[in-house]
Amino acid sequence: MAMVEESRTRRERSGRQARRAQRSHGDRGLGRPYIVRNIPTYDILSEENLVRIEGAADRILAEIGIEFRDDPVALDHWRRAGAKVDGVLVRFEPGMLREVLKTAPASFTQHARNPAKSVEIGGKSVVFSPAYGSPFVMDLDRGRRYGTIEDFENFIKLAQASPWLHHSGGTICEPVDVPVNKRHLDMVYAHIRYSDRPFMGSVTAESRAEESIAMARIVFGERFTDENCVILGNVNVNSPLVWDATMTTALRAYARANQAAVVVPFILGGAMGPVTNAGAIAQSLAETMAGCALTQLERPGCPVIFGNFLSSMSLRSGSPTFGTPEPAIGSMVIGQLARRLNLPLRCSGSFTTSKLPDGQAMNESTMSMLAAVHCGANFILHSAGFLDGLLSMSYEKFVMDADFCGALHTYLDGVVVDDNQLALDAFREVGPGSHFFGCAHTMANYETAFWDSGIADNEPFEKWEAAGSTDAATRANAKWKQMLADYEAPPLDEGIDEALRDFIARKKAQAHDAWY
């Protein structure tokens, strides 16, 4: 009898999962390769004020300038383009960078090795990607610790298993158990092996960027890679107003291979930029335009993403703060500025300074994610897992954030108005004073009517209490473990896999391990 009951429970659970999967797919369901927004962006500044910010950025570029350190090729690009180069300091006449940026595409496709999962970046598309760059990982069982290659692979598997994320991401966490000069090979391989979604490569050295691209060529082929975007590189300005050679040489490596650089200032108000929002936005615009324009001087027409990372800080302690309202509303303005440049936008994410996947974490993350959605961001890095001011990648927060990304799919779909949605037949059937619970319209629509959270508890208090009174983080803990247990790797051509492994082995054999 126990075996019969267990079998019945498995069938019922399987049936619920199948119904949820059915609801989760389709043109307006979850599980789409990317979202096409059906709600407008939220434009908060007038034309007059946008022009004032652009004018301030132009003055920063012309009067103060930006340093390009230790990259003579970049300086030569600027000289030929007509900028004023004095040592490593480059000044730009108003309008110059905007003219250079006219060759950059307004949107492009990043191809996945599974063509059904390729993403469009630009226009009305929205792509969710995991958080990026944390040295630590965290879960409720083992607490905070340095990340390993096993953790790195786990997060790729969780992203692949989630119907609410569209991109495999990049350095989801730092695998500190692999030598610094070789870990990029293992990370790119993990993205290719454990996911069939688009992914990002290394930017920590020009050679590592080139080797990341070389691995992508093994997967997609030389000619296809030269003609199409198959890998992204996320490069950061050394704010304020400095581009260093580590970033510019990596940026140029992606550009000359016709791959997309995501160009991102990292401005903490009061530290790497002014405490005032308008000033930080003007600085961000100046720094980002310069980086984006450099890609076009390297290879005109290559894809590039206009990035932004505004944040605040506690002026009492000097600690960074994330998920606060000033950077969130600043993202709205960045969205307007990026659209005026006709460039795809990367903005915001699930930012938080909280040290646990708690109420603070989700309050701050919701603030910044809604800002990204409303500002018109096309590529949203840090969509899942961000904790501890980006120092920690949290397993539980990853699941909680991904669940919220599921809700945002429905939110971005907006409101459909058609005969079925207006439901006049239901009103005729039910009439005044009755209920809609069992009417024909409800029965025909109930499986797709509402978004269905994978971790929320919507049961009555007594039933929740009887089931153990678990909070959201505890439910997320069980969820990620189940997701990893159920994970199945997408198929990978054996010849490609062998070629990748051979490439990695040869590259690793060429250098001694370096841990710094």
Give tens-digit pLDDT for 478-488. 999 999 999 99
**Residues 6 or more apart in contact with residue 185 via CB below 8 angstroms:** 211, 215, 503, 504, 507, 508
Whether the predicted pLDDT of 186 surpasses 50: yes
Burial tier of 476 (Cβ tally within 10 Å: 0-12, 13-18, 19+): buried
Average pLDDT of the segment spanning 97-107: 98
Residue 8 pLDDT greater than 90, yes or no: no
What pLDDT score does 314 carry?
Answer: 87
Count of all residues that appear for the chain in the document = 516
Q: Residue 439 and residue 263: Cα distance in Å, rounded?
A: 53
CB 139 within 8 A of CB 395: yes
Q: What percent of the chain has pLDDT over 70?
A: 94
Q: In the predicted model, is pLDDT for residue 21 greater than 50?
A: no
pLDDT band, residue 315 (cuts 50/70/90) = confident
Q: Is the pLDDT of residue 433 over 80?
A: yes
| pLDDT band, residue 396 (cuts 50/70/90) | very high
Asked whether the beta carbons of 393 and 134 are under 8 A apart, the reply is: yes
| Selection from 336, 232, 234, 320 nearest residue 278 by Cα | 336
Cα–Cα distance measured from residue 230 to residue 188, given in angstroms and rounded to the nearest whole number: 12
| 179: pLDDT strictly greater than 60 | yes
pLDDT at 435 > cutoff 90 = yes
Helix/strand/coil percentages in the chain, nearest 5: 50, 15, 35
Give all strands (DSSP E) within 188-344, no chain letters. 232-236, 242-244, 260-264, 267-268, 304-308, 310-313, 320-321
Using alpha carbons, list the distances in angstroms from residue 275 to 3, 109, 271, 279, 372: 65, 37, 8, 8, 21
pTM of the model: 0.94
User: What is the pLDDT at residue 13?
Assistant: 43
Give the per-residue pLDDT at 29: 53
Confidence category of residue 147, pLDDT binned at 50, 70, 90: very high
Mean local confidence (pLDDT), 315-333: 93
What's the CA gap between 214 and 230, in Å, rounded? 11
Count CB-CB contacts under 10 A for residue 186: 18
pLDDT band at 24 (very low <50, low <70, confident <90, very high): very low
Provide the percentage of residues in the chain whose pLDDT is more than 90.
91
CA distance 245 to 234: 14
The predicted pLDDT at position 309 comes to: 92
